Amino acid sequence: MKSRSLFWITVLGAILLLVPSLVLAQNITGTKIVGGTGTPDYPTLSAAITALNTNHGSGTVTFLIDGDLTEAGSPEITDTALVGANKLIIKPNTGKTPTVTFTTVATSGNKSNAGFTITGNSASFGSVGNVTIDGSNTANGTTQDMTFAINDATNGRYLIRLSGHTDNVTIKNLKLVPTAIRTASASGNRTYGINCLAMASGAADNLTISNCAISGSSTSAFYYGIYKPDGGTVPVATGLTISGNTIFAQHKGMSIWWPAGTTNIYNNTISMLGALTGSYVQNSINAIYLQTWTGTCNIYNNKLVTLKATALAQTTLKPLYGILLYNTSVDAPAGQTANVYNNFISDFAYTGDAASYPSEINGIAVDAYGQTVNVYHNSIYINSANITSNPVYGIRVYDDSLQTANLKNNIVVNTVNYDSAYAIYRGAMTTNCVMNSDYNDLYVAGANANIGIYGATKCKTLANWQAASGKDANSKNLNPANPFGASGQWKSLTDLHWVSAPSSSFAGTFITGYTTDIDGDARSASKVTMGADEPGASTAVEKDGSSTPRAFWLEQNYPNPFNPSTAISFQLSAVSFVKLTVSDILCREVATLVNGQRAAGNHIVTWDAAGMPGGVYFYSLTTGELTQTRKMQLIK
């Protein structure tokens, strides 16, 4: 009897021990609230991810971030159940605008030095993926309502770190902020907004990074905005898309190695700051760097608005590139294609001493053994500010065997005035490298500069270049930039839109398949303009660069043209602090019509331009970080 009751007590005890583990073993599915002031399912993202890793996601798991969070120790997703129909979405709860701050980051493992991590580092288990980080706080929204920030000045190097086999990850509508990161004082402690590193376990197929703001300032920015090195001794990945992002970075806006299949890099706005105080100065500074690819890589509709090299101690001079395509004979096999088109590349600058001077400056450089690179419809403007030595190239084609570079409908303006400044450069010719070039506008502003160099032949004029190269029979030598804002010319140093339709001298040649411009305006066989901008409906309206629903709308003034007064209306969706200003053709502010808080609804303001000279003026409405600009004409 005694032994029998002991038996049942033992059985009961075993069952009681099993019950909690059975509960824990239930998969996580559906929507879970994380943080906030209510009764969340998990107090932190770390707790939610730990539960996911332990119990595994099933079906669609959504973590709704309900309030600001502070996350220590580098939350790391390792759930290998996230494949097939099982997926994880992390986004703000409806109407919420949380900041998730990653502090006290880990110092070992694949999450080392990182804020938020996904690790697929087991070849036997397969991918850890199907993760979407969506910063929008509405379903299918496109507003950037959530911020990921890293705040660890001692060890913080990566805000988002993906390691190994992490397929089908999407990062969108997210603000990425380096609140405090380690100073990138050596190659071993460079910093990254998003780092996606292929490992022996695999590479990240179908990575999408879209409509994110990777921010920076003159004192704090990631060394790399986006870094994705695949290939070499580790696998390559297919299906990379990087679109609609605003990126500030010190050294490379994006550095992409060995993408495969079809790669699309478009609609990004990139500002290069140059190395900040205390930072290591690596080899080249690039807004977009593509090293080795297979398949087709499309780089289009990007705005590289400023490219800056800074004065910091360095032992070797470093080059500065807008876009560099690079492949050596030992990397990707011959026969791959890259299409680089409709990009604005502008405002190169240098601040500092001669010892740190960029060894060379390139708008677009093609250095790709074996590959075909089509460079069409780009607008390149090289600012001469502080650039006083070393070669400066608008478009540079290196001498790589089996490479074909096709250049058409580009506008290249190089305002640097010395002998080694060129609009176009075709390097020393010792190998079987083909360059086709025509219907470009090749312009250098300085009397000492050269239109081009072909092999070793420097060409002062377009005619010299045509004679030496046998190329560019239909190309032009026109200045679209000076003075900025004159009729038919470019808008500003950093905005290479036409102010109004340019003269027919800038007519290009239609290229099949290239039917839209940087704004989406149509190009057709009957209307093709050189450069990235086709003067269309959107020419006079500066786009805000995002698909954010407008908090306001600025109407075209009426009447227009006018003399001497005109009415300007605008609508506000909510009470806002607004500023409405008028600028002249040289971007000098000539009137402030509104500067203060205004109610929601319609507003009409009259501008009396009596006493102002006749001509084109711009009026701009600004609320918060958004500005809308329109053009008007005063007739005298």
Q: Which is nearer to Ca ion, 110 or 342 (CB)?
A: 342
Q: Which stretch binds Ca ion (CB under 5 A): 78-86, 470-478, 528-536, 572-580?
A: 528-536
**Minimum distance from residue 589 beta carbon to Ca ion (Å):** 25
Task: Tell me whether residue 178 or residue 502 sits nearer to Ca ion (CB atom).
Answer: 502
* Integer Cα distance of 193 and 279 in angstroms: 16
DSSP element (H, E) containing 7: helix 2-24
Interaction with Ca ion in 579-608: which residues (CB under 5 A)? Answer: none
Using the rule CB under 5 A, give the single segment among 300-308, 314-322, 510-518, 589-597 that binds Ca ion.
510-518
The pairs formed by 583-591 with CB atoms below 8 angstroms and a separation of 24 or more are 583/617, 583/618, 583/619, 583/620, 584/615, 584/617, 584/618, 585/485, 585/486, 585/499, 585/615, 585/616, 585/617, 586/483, 586/484, 586/485, 587/484, 587/485, 587/492, 587/618, 590/617
From 110, 536, 617, 621, residue interacting with Ca ion (rule: CB under 5 A)? 536
Number of residues that bind Ca ion (CB under 5 A): 6
Report the residue from 438, 521, 555, 584 that binds Ca ion according to the rule CB under 5 A.
521
What distance in Å separates the CA atoms of residue 377 and residue 374, rounded to the nearest whole number?
Answer: 10
- Beta-strand ranges (E) seen in 251-315 are 252-257, 259-260, 262-266, 269-272, 285-291, 296-300, 303-310
Asked if 542 touches Ca ion (CB under 5 A), the answer is no
Instruction: List CB contacts of 346: < 8 A, sequence separation 6 or more.
Output: 304, 305, 306, 379, 380, 381, 383, 493, 494, 495, 496
Give the span between the Cα atoms of 240 and 188, in whole angstroms: 26
Q: Give the dihedral sign, CA 265/267/273/278.
A: negative
Closer to Ca ion by Cβ: residue 205 or 517: 517
Is 533 a binding residue for Ca ion by CB under 5 A? The answer is: yes
C-beta closer to Ca ion: residue 441 or 517: 517
Residue 472 Cβ vs Ca ion, minimum distance, rounded to whole Å: 25
Stretch touching Ca ion by CB under 5 A, among 232-240, 250-258, 533-541, 602-610: 533-541
Shortest approach of Ca ion to residue 529 CB, angstroms? 9
- Least Å distance, CB 518 to Ca ion, is 6
Tell me the window of 92-100, 208-216, 312-320, 531-539 that interacts with Ca ion (CB under 5 A): 531-539
Question: Per DSSP, what are the bridge partners of residue 601?
Answer: 572
Q: Select 399 or 521, whichever has its Cβ closest to Ca ion.
A: 521
Residue placing its CB nearer to Ca ion in the complex, 367 or 534:
534
Smaller CB separation from Ca ion, 538 or 548: 538
CB of 41 to Ca ion, least distance (A): 48
Q: Read off the tokens for 104.
A: 């006290």
Minimum CB–partner distance for residue 521 and Ca ion (Å):
4
Min CB(206)–Ca ion separation in Å:
31
Find the shortest distance in angstroms from Cβ 208 to Ca ion: 26
Smallest distance, Ca ion to C-beta of residue 322, A: 20
For the chain, the farthest-separated pair of C-alpha atoms sits apart, in whole angstroms, at: 115
By rule CB under 5 A, what string of x and - marks binding of each residue 458-497 to Ca ion? ----------------------------------------
Q: Which of 76, 495, 517, 542 binds Ca ion (CB under 5 A)?
A: 517
> In what helix (H) or strand (E) does residue 52 lie, and over which residues does it extend?
helix 45-55
Span interacting with Ca ion, options 50-58, 109-117, 133-141, 516-524, rule CB under 5 A: 516-524
79/534 with CB nearer Ca ion: 534
Before 564, cis peptide (omega within 30)? yes
* Contact present, 329 and 370 (Cβ < 8 Å): yes
First to last CA, the chain: 115
From candidates 441, 495, 519, 542, binder to Ca ion by CB under 5 A:
519
375's tokens: 């460079």
- 3-state per-residue secondary structure call for 242-260: EECCEEEECCEEEEEECEE
Q: What is the C-alpha to C-alpha distance for residues 501 and 486, in angstroms, rounded to an integer?
A: 11
φ/ψ of 493, rounded to 5, equals: -60, -30
- Shortest distance in whole angstroms from residue 268 CB to Ca ion: 17
State in angstroms the smallest separation of the CB of 547 from Ca ion.
17
Task: Check residue 145 for interaction with Ca ion (CB under 5 A).
Answer: no
Phi, psi of 21 (to 5 degrees): -70, -30
Instruction: Give the residues lining the site for Ca ion (CB under 5 A).
Output: 517, 519, 521, 533-534, 536
